[in-house]
Amino acid sequence: MVLARNTRLGPYEILGPLGAGGMGEVYKARDTRLDRTVAIKILPAAVAADPHRRERFRREARAIATLSHPHICALHDVGDADGVEFLVMEYLPGETLAHRLLRGPLPIAEVVRIGADLAEALDAAHRQGVVHRDLKPSNVMLTAGGATILDFGLATWQRGEDAMSPGLPAAPSTVTQTGMIVGTIQYMAPEQVEGKAADARADIFALGTMLYEMTTGRKAFEGASGASVMAAIVSSTPPPMAAAQPLAPSALDHVVKECLAKDPAARWQSAGDLARELKWIAETTSSSAGASLNGRSKSRIYWSIASALVALATAMLALEYFRQPSVETNRVQLFIPPPEHAAYPSYNQIESPPVVSPDGRQIAFVAHEIGGPDSVWVRSLDSQAARALPGTDGVPASSLEVFWSPDSRSIGFFAGGKLKRIDLSGGPPLVLADAPDARGGTWNQEGIIVFAPNADGPLSRVSATGGPPAPVTKLRAAQSGHRWPIFLPDGRHFLYLSRTSPQFRNSTTDVASLARTPSFAC
């Protein structure tokens, strides 16, 4: 079943599809009574014909209805229109963790923050006797407010506090009998793979696999087939996270190992304990960057510094002993002429130099074919050939208004009073937001773009996939505009120019964070 735009389900007007899974189709919709955006999950006719799946769908509604937590998707309503059963849930703008992982591992600070959010949400669910049983990256939405758990379609109830009592057996499901495997293989606990009853500690195992994947960019258990993955879950131990991510704290590696213990009794016994441990890691990790440290952390850092100094001294002695005659270096000059049959804008060329891609392999710049409009061009640094990107006509000449995506696969630019993005693999530009008098943009690893939509105003943020923009800075006294943002390497803080007069006298370079709007001058 596919619902067309403007279809009505009672008071809800369908706006478009959001996704689909084995247990339902999800649509973006508008509640015409309250004029708010919601997400509607419907039970397709083919699924509704199966009484077991229909019962799971209704059980999801009952499960969510018992839960109230900022990191669990809220249920607004349930309904039945013309034989179509549906759930009305909170609409969460953002991207799934599965989509984020396509870009590679996450920064350690993000890993522990997301992990703590999810552990707190699981703790709240487990205390109500609800076990999710299908926790995986595609069931986690990343938003500006943190990580949120979705889809309780495979959830099961246990007897209240029994979900938190490891000494008690898991209560049987009313739909899925022991011996039937439910869930997604890569994130299942060993007891689920073996078809045994699972309690809250199965969710903790699943969260451990996600922490491992967020940190390393690799799944904890892999194989050429489903059977080999299940065999790995039951009998294999994943490599230490430090092998793939040297910056992973040893404390985080310990936490994940305990999550992934084969025996449920050897795992963390509550998601609440796991959440507190992850928060402690977050605090000690941030404090090591300059805040006060406890005695144990200080001792570890002192030993690390001492070891590094010894290694450095040894290396310098070895270098001196085996010193080779110095090799004369050559000065390198780079000249980038305009493309054949094209020219740079008529402005001062210093104002529109090429912008190098993050991977260091390509450059993007503004140019035009003789007699044509300015547009965005791309050239590989190992080639003299350049190509114009179709659909980028009308881009302003300043290179500060052309910027790369972190993966070097897309370019953000301004044209026709709009902020747009274009993928180098092809396709038309995507309009992201209004920008009538733009003054620069920047793009971070989380898919967030910070840009100046106007010459005289604060900076805004918007998802690289589109959505409503929101202010991200505030003008202070005597400031007439913020412009030219540039993300710092952590992807959370950014620099920008604060304009204080038309001639830019006394203007400052300020720094701000996505987490908060106050900023300070550099």
**53-to-67, 192, 193, 440 alpha-carbon distances in Å:** 21, 19, 20, 51
Give per-residue pLDDT as tens, 210-257. Answer: 999 999 999 999 888 888 899 999 999 999 998 888 888 889 999 999
Q: Is the pLDDT of residue 21 over 70?
A: no
CA distances from 165 to 101, 117, 127, 199, 437 (A): 33, 22, 10, 9, 60
pLDDT tens by residue, 356-410: 999 888 999 888 877 778 888 899 887 778 888 988 887 765 545 789 999 999 9
Query: Tell me: domain 8-90, CATH 3.30.450.20, correct?
Result: no
- Sequence-distant (6+) residues with CB within 8 A of 396 are 366, 374, 414, 415, 438
Q: Tell me, which fold does domain 95-166+182-287 have in CATH?
A: Transferase(Phosphotransferase); domain 1 (1.10.510)
274: nearest Cα among 376, 354, 201: 201
pLDDT in tens, 251-278: 999 999 999 999 999 999 999 999 999 9
What letter represents residue 29's amino acid?
A: A
Q: Which one is the CATH code of 435-522: 2.40.50, 2.40.10, 2.60.40, 1.10.3470?
A: 2.40.10
Q: Is 273 designated active site? A: no
Write the CB contacts of 22 (distance below 8 Å, at least 6 apart in sequence). none
Q: Which of 72-86, 165-179, 199-213: highest mean pLDDT?
A: 199-213
The answer to whether 210 touches 121, Cβ cutoff 8 Å, is no
- Residue 330 has which token pair? 């050559």
Q: Which of 117, 123, 134, 510 is catalytic?
A: 134
pLDDT at 330 over 70: no
**Residue 285 carries which DSSP code?**
H
**Is the separation of the CB atoms in 367 and 378 below 8 Å?**
no
Q: How many CB atoms lie within 10 A of CB 347?
A: 13
Q: Is the pLDDT of residue 298 over 50?
A: no
- How confident is the prediction for the chain on average, in pLDDT? 80
Q: In degrees to the nearest 10, what's the CA dihedral of 21, 24, 28, 30?
A: -170
**CA separation for the pair 55, 79 (Å, rounded):** 15
What does the alpha-carbon distance between residue 482 and residue 456 come to, in Å, rounded to a whole number?
7
Q: Which two tokens stand for residue 204?
A: 């903790």
Q: How far apart are CA 39 and CA 22, in angstroms?
A: 17
Task: Answer yes or no: is pLDDT of 318 > 50.
Answer: yes
